[in-house]
Amino acid sequence: GAVVSQHPSWVICKSGTSVKIECRSLDFQATTMFWYRQFPKQSLMLMATSNEGSKATYEQGVEKDKFLINHASLTLSTLTVTSAHPEDSSFYICSVEGGSNQPQHFGDGTRLSIL
Amino acid sequence: TQLLEQSPQFLSIQEGENLTVYCNSSSVFSSLQWYRQEPGEGPVLLVTVVTGGEVKKLKRLTFQFGDARKDSSLHITAAQPGDTGLYLCADRGSNYKLTFGKGTLLTVNP
């Protein structure tokens, strides 16, 4: 069964809207989760590392005020795309870190389309 | 910044054919992983290799890691339509961060 649940799977909204995406770890407590963005026919690009109980660590070039990450519990991280614009349209994927001898488990992604 | 180059970018073959895809890094891999991603889904881990020269087999898939730990190949024997997907190599670096290549989009036609 699924280890990571990501919701919603698909969202369409108007420009200027803020959109929240949830990533839940179903099987174990996760102190570390990751958020990726994938444009069509391109690879996954790491956006940020979500740390339970502390601030997220953002990759270079990713606006932290644009992409708000909250990891308030050991099973839930949320990514909020604030004031979304068409260029933010993408496939957003989260993953849960399993530890040194375990793989990362990925969610099924959220297709975000901004009109 | 590490760069992972994958080739070919696209590959379309007939069922039953063999194929090889490649992954080359600008620097030594910490831990090389191969993933397969299907449309509208997250990537799924196929294998992890860490030792130079290592060869791992997973049914019809054979993974090779170069001696210098900067390149890898994935060979699929007798491809099936179910093998269709985006094959991604990645380096699992410090703090468990993954750096992905751009992938090879494989289509296996019945």
Do the chains contact at B41 and A109, CB–CB below 8 Å?
Answer: yes
Do the chains contact at B96 and A6, CB–CB below 8 Å?
Answer: no
Confidence of residue A2 (pLDDT cuts 50, 70, 90): low
Partners of B61 in the β-ladder: B58, B76
- Residue A56 tokens, joined: 């997220």
pLDDT, tens only, A24-36 = 999 878 889 999 9
Residue-averaged pLDDT of chain B: 94
A92: contact with B, CB 8 A cutoff: no
The pLDDT score that the predictor gives to residue A27 is 83
- Residue B99 tokens, joined: 């750096």
The pLDDT score that the predictor gives to residue A90 is 95
Q: How far apart are CA A84 and CA A73, in angstroms?
A: 26
A54: contact with B, CB 8 A cutoff: no
A4, A9, A104: residue with CB nearest B98: A104
- Determine which of A4, A39, A44 to mutate to test the interface with B (most B C-beta atoms within 10 Å): A44
Shortest alpha-carbon distance between residue A18 and chain B (Å)? 22
The strands making up B71-76's β-sheet, listed across from edge to edge, are B4-7, B19-25, B71-76, B61-65, B55-58
The pLDDT score that the predictor gives to residue B23 is 97
Residues of A in contact with B94 (CB under 8 A): none
pLDDT, tens only, A61-106 = 999 999 999 998 889 999 999 999 999 999 999 999 877 677 889 9
Do the chains contact at A109 and B99, CB–CB below 8 Å?
Answer: no
- Residue B1 tokens, joined: 């910044």
Q: Report the residue of chain A nearest B6, measured CA to CA.
A: A43
B48: contact with A, CB 8 A cutoff: yes
Average pLDDT over residues B35-54: 93
B85: contact with A, CB 8 A cutoff: no
Q: A49 or A28: whose pLDDT is higher?
A: A49
Q: Which residues of A13-36 are buried (b: 16+ CB within 10 A; e: fewer)?
A: eeeeeebebbbbbeeeebebbbbb
